[in-house]
Amino acid sequence: MQNNSMPSYVEGLAEEISKKVMNCLKNFSPDVEVYSIDEAFVDLTGTEKLFKKNYIEIIKTIRETILNETDIPVSIGLSTSKTLAKLASDKAKNTNGIYIINHDNIKMEMEKTKIEEIWGIGKNITITLKKKGILNCLEFINMPDAVLKQLLGAKGLEMKHELLGEVISPVN
């Protein structure tokens, strides 16, 4: 019988690195929500005045700080909602480690993002939406609220508004 789990020393190292990364994040904002061992949401609202930098400069500083402290390159997505930040973070993995989705480029990003790329949209929801001809996120956010609610319930509406850049699920 083969054991596919990580050796305990590897798990311990991963946890130690994760703790260092999360501590770095907490130096930039008191509002850090640890989502998993390698993911967190950080609310940077109001930090521009504190650090005397814009948000793009702040996330570059965060990325540099984490690299200097841990030797781990991280991907950072910057946006106004958790769902968009998660999407931006996923896209950052294929760019220079930083990706931004703001109000000016939401529609363009939604048009080029397949529905199954969105955090929280699993296989069954993807199948349901594709049956209705919804293939990308722009088509999803353009659905009438009543139709979306009937199809996916309140969670579907929340997801739509998060994709529009509204904070439905704040960092906690």
Task: Please give the positions annotated as active site.
Answer: 39
Non-local (6+) Cβ contacts of 21 within 8 A are: 38, 40, 66, 70, 72, 74
Non-local (6+) Cβ contacts of 63 within 8 A are: 73, 74, 76, 97, 98
For residue 35, what is the enclosing H or E element? strand 32-36
DSSP 7: P
Q: Is 63 helix (H, G, I), strand (E, B) or coil?
A: helix
Non-local (6+) Cβ contacts of 108 within 8 A are: none
- Distance CA(26)–CA(130), nearest Å, equals 40
